[in-house]
Amino acid sequence: MKVIMRYPKDHKETTRRRIVGSAAQTLRRDGIVASGVIGLMADAGLTQGGFYTHFASKDALVDEALQLAMVETRRKFSRLVADARAEGRSAIIALIDGYLSERHLEAPGMGCLLSSLGAELARQPEPIRRTAERAMNELIELIASEVPAPYQGRAGAILGLLSGTLQLARLGGTRNDQRALLDQGRSAAYVLAGVEMRNAAAA
């Protein structure tokens, strides 16, 4: 049977990706429960009606959007690691500094979903919960692969420190409070990762 294409072959797929892409940001910025379908579609320049030609439910979009968020985050971290290596800097310090940076603090919609959504993830329906769990494990492995061998077993705690401290910093009232928490978090992460503070300061 001949398949007749009325619209450009990838028209619908492009739109779908646009929805998932903007949802990945909005969900991290505003939270899952607090984000509605109408708003998520509006962010992609569309109206609510078309939503269900692309996704079976809001949860289905949330699941895909969180998967995309994770892919983006991993890509950013890989770039940090690659750049550091190319310049002869420590990859783990680059990861720590990138995670606990003011840039990351100010842009929860573009950052790690663990710190942006935190406890809300554990309350989601099973498929979404599992997606979040997979994201967590990927990040732990990514950290473990950059930490000196004797400290690799601490990768989970290091991720906990990074994501927990960024959340606290985002709660800080003044810019100074926020910076102080980020600084504390970086120093502590260096200690856990077994890298010297001296190197860190130099980097």
* Token pair belonging to 91: 């990859």
In the complex, the smallest distance separating the C-beta of residue 49 from DNA, rounded to whole angstroms, is: 2
Main-chain phi, psi angles of 148, to 5 degrees: -50, 145
DSSP helix/strand/coil, 57? coil
Contact between 68 and its own copies per CB under 8 A: no
Q: Is residue 123 a contact residue for DNA (CB under 7 A)?
A: no
Residue 164 touches which of DNA, its own copies, none (Cβ within 5-8 Å per kind): its own copies
| Residue 45 backbone zone (phi > 0: left; psi -120 to 50: alpha; other: beta) | left
Which phi-psi region, left, alpha or beta, contains residue 31 (left: φ > 0; alpha: ψ -120 to 50)? left
> At closest approach, how far in Å is the CB of 141 from DNA?
32
Task: In whole angstroms, give the CA distance from residue 102 to residue 35.
Answer: 25
Q: Kindly identify the residues of this chain, within the stretch 33-52, that bind DNA according to CB under 7 A.
A: 35-39, 41, 46-52
**Rounded distance between C-alpha atoms, residue 66 and residue 32, angstroms:** 10
* Residue 180: contacted member of DNA, its own copies, none (CB under 5 to 8 Å, by partner type): its own copies
Minimum Å gap between C-beta 158 and its own copies is 7
Nearest 5°: phi and psi at 94? -65, -40
Q: Which of 46, 58, 60, 187 binds its own copies (CB under 8 A)?
A: 187
How many Cα atoms occupy the beta-carbon half-sphere of 181 within 13 Å? 20
- Give 45's contacts (C-beta < 8 A, 6+ positions apart): 18
Residue 50 C-beta: closest distance to its own copies, Å:
26
118 lines the binding site for its own copies (CB under 8 A): yes
> In the complex, which residues of this chain contact DNA (CB under 7 A)?
2, 4-8, 11-12, 15-16, 35-39, 41, 46-54, 57-59
> In the complex, which residues of this chain contact its own copies (CB under 8 A)?
30-31, 33-34, 108, 114-123, 129-130, 132-133, 136, 153-168, 170-173, 180-181, 184-185, 187-189, 191-192
